[in-house]
Amino acid sequence: MGKNTTFTGRRWRGGLLAAAVLTVAGCSGGGTVSGETAKAPADPADASGTIKVLTHRTDLVQNGTMARYAEEFNKVYPEVKVKFEALTDYEGEVKIRMNTDDYGDVLMIPAAVAKNDYPKFFAPLGTAAELGGTYRFSDKTEVGGKVYGIAQFGTANGFVYNKAVWKKAGVTAWPTTPREFLADLKVVKAKTDALPYYTNFKDGWPLTAWSNSIGSVTCDAKANDKLAGAVSPWREGSELNVIDSLLYDVVKGGLSEKDPNTTNWEASKGMIAQGKVATMQLGSWAITQMRDAAEKAGADPDDIGFMPFPVQKDGKYCAVLASDYQQAVNAHSSHKAAARAWIDWFTQKSGYSAKEGAVPALKSAPMPGTLKDFVDNDVSFQERSEVKTGEVNAIDNAAEIGLNKPDYRQKLIDLARGAQHGSLDDFFADLDKRWNEAARTAGS
């Protein structure tokens, strides 16, 4: 028996040694990056090779829409073959793949990558001065004067609502204050069978849309940058205080669904289209999807409307434009020119953003039809400044709050409907405390 144990003991140590060796080997993955700019070829015939495009739009890859874009692209660049790889859990999978060199030639920059790490993963696309004139949102991926990503498109933020339901309740004008918004929802509840507001609590991510309204309250494109530091973001009268108080009051007033833990995003599209739900806070990208849902359900797509966040500054509404995923070129790609050609073509010529009803990344392109109400009503568009996004995200992660994660708003909703105990003021005070502490440590 004694001998036996020493034998296994030796093997165990051998196993550990092997594990340690492999551990060290595993850590040294990832080759060096040249930092050479991915330039589009001057002559389309010069670009060649097979490029792989990673995308989160599984729906568009499955129904062949992306393949049709690639066909169009091939008319200009005949030598480039474009392959798509659609990932259902895009963020989770790409993040892990980025530990290797093989993460496609073109990809959407995952939110998990810290801004300062961009040069280690992506090829620069040009200087800020070069790209800033052509594209919106290019400062989001600017590191050291170079830009690493081009937005697919952007979205304006606001509330998707069913016009017919609101009209039935007798409300035709957009609310101008949070209080008015709440009063309107109450009327909707009283006069129609519709649920005034749907949180999409279970799926979670729709709750993060509320954060995209940062800047709408004070009409300040730099509002998000101002969060960098120990600034108590939830203090009285601040952007986040107004935004999150509104959500709290909506839920507290019993104006949202009874059992939020069983909500369903896919079903919610049909519900708002058929007038079972009156309002949802979302980006303008959602309008086309809701209208599609309305068509499928036999309802009138024109009933789907979009209203700005209910706050006015000097008698005018503000809508913040935030960028969607940014497309980047893998620094390890061997077909950088072809990859860049695809990004430029897809952003400028494909008609993708217009079809999605989104705000084009190309500055010269017009606003989409889905935002016609905003343009007609003179809503002022604020292109969100992203200069300090890296710092803000670092603080946000260090504080484990998650402005762009559902968790803290889920807790807010639980507080509002009494499923958890505590007051809103205490909750905000705690968030402020965590944010400020994290700002002091993460800033260093």
Partner 1 sequence: MTETTHTAPAKVPRAAASPGTAPAPDGSRRGGRVLRRLTPWLFLAVPLALLVTFTYVPVGNMIYYSFTDWDGVSPDRHFTGVDNYEQIFTRPELFRVFFVSFYYLAASAVQIVIALYFATVLSFDLRFRNLFKGILFFPYLINGVAIGFVFLYFFQDGGTLDSVLSWFGAGSDHAWLGDPESANTSLAGVSVWRFTGLNFVLFLGAIQSIPAELYEAAQLDGASRWQQFRHIIAPSIRPVLSLSVILAVSGSLSVFEIPYIMTGGATGTTTFVIQTVKLAFQFNKTGLASAAAVVLLLIILLITWIQRRLVPDEKVDLV
Pairwise CA distance, residues 256 & 248, whole Å: 10
Interface stretch with partner 1, choices 172-180, 197-205, 228-236, 302-310 (CB under 8 A): 197-205
Using CB under 8 A, which of 190, 237, 258, 315 touches partner 1? 258
Q: Which residues pair with 108 in a beta bridge?
A: 327
Pull the structure tokens for residue 271: 């519900």
Site string for partner 1, 213-232 (x = CB under 8 A): --------------------
Using CB under 8 A, which of 38, 54, 87, 98 touches partner 1? 98
Please, what is the minimum distance in Å from the beta carbon of residue 427 to partner 1? 14
Query: In terms of CB distance, is 76 or 419 closer to partner 1?
Result: 419
C-alpha dihedral sign at 178, 431, 222, 359: negative
Q: Is 407 in the site for partner 1 (CB under 8 A)?
A: yes
CA 121 to chain centre: 20
Please, what is the minimum distance in Å from the beta carbon of residue 191 to partner 1? 22
Query: In terms of CB distance, is 321 or 394 closer to partner 1?
Result: 394
Using CB under 8 A, which of 10, 22, 167, 179 touches partner 1? 22
Q: Is 202 in the site for partner 1 (CB under 8 A)?
A: yes
Residues 6+ apart with CB under 8 A from 307: 158, 159, 161, 174, 175, 373
Site for partner 1 in 364-403 (CB under 8 A): 397-398, 400, 402
Query: In terms of CB distance, is 92 or 133 closer to partner 1?
Result: 92
Using CB under 8 A, which of 181, 201, 234, 285 touches partner 1? 201
Site for partner 1 in 51-90 (CB under 8 A): none
Please, what is the minimum distance in Å from the beta carbon of residue 293 to partner 1? 20
Q: Is 444 in the site for partner 1 (CB under 8 A)?
A: no
Query: In terms of CB distance, is 379 or 395 closer to partner 1?
Result: 395
Q: Is 92 in the site for partner 1 (CB under 8 A)?
A: yes
Pairwise CA distance, residues 65 & 59, whole Å: 9
Q: Which residue has the tokens 């559902």?
A: 406
Q: Is 19 in the site for partner 1 (CB under 8 A)?
A: yes
User: Which amino acid does the sequence have at 408?
Assistant: Y
Site for partner 1 in 290-309 (CB under 8 A): none
Pull the structure tokens for residue 257: 């669904």
User: Which amino acid does the sequence have at 32?
Assistant: T
Residue 410 CB coordination number (10 Å): 19
Element (H, E) at 161: strand 153-162
Q: Is 254 in the site for partner 1 (CB under 8 A)?
A: no
Q: Which residues pair with 317 in a beta bridge?
A: 312
Using CB under 8 A, which of 9, 16, 34, 369 touches partner 1? 16
Query: In terms of CB distance, is 92 or 369 closer to partner 1?
Result: 92
Closest Cα partner for 194 from 276, 263, 260?
A: 276
Q: What is the DSSP string of 185-200?
A: HHHHHHHSSSEEE---
Query: In terms of CB distance, is 12 or 316 closer to partner 1?
Result: 12
Site for partner 1 in 110-129 (CB under 8 A): 110, 112-114, 117, 120-121
For residues 125 and 150, is the Cβ–Cβ distance under 8 A? yes
Q: Is 143 in the site for partner 1 (CB under 8 A)?
A: no
Query: In terms of CB distance, is 206 or 360 closer to partner 1?
Result: 206
Interface stretch with partner 1, choices 17-25, 66-74, 167-175, 351-359 (CB under 8 A): 17-25
Q: What is the DSSP string of 69-119?
A: HHHHHHHH-TTEEEEEEE-TTHHHHHHHHTTSS-S-SEEEPPTTS-GGGHH
For residues 412 and 344, is the Cβ–Cβ distance under 8 A? no
Pull the structure tokens for residue 296: 């499928």
C-alpha dihedral sign at 393, 395, 400, 403: negative
Q: Which residues bind partner 1 (CB under 8 A)?
A: 3-4, 7, 15-16, 18-20, 22-23, 26-27, 30, 91-92, 95, 98-99, 110, 112-114, 117, 120-121, 201-202, 204, 257-262, 397-398, 400, 402, 405-407, 410-411, 414, 417-420
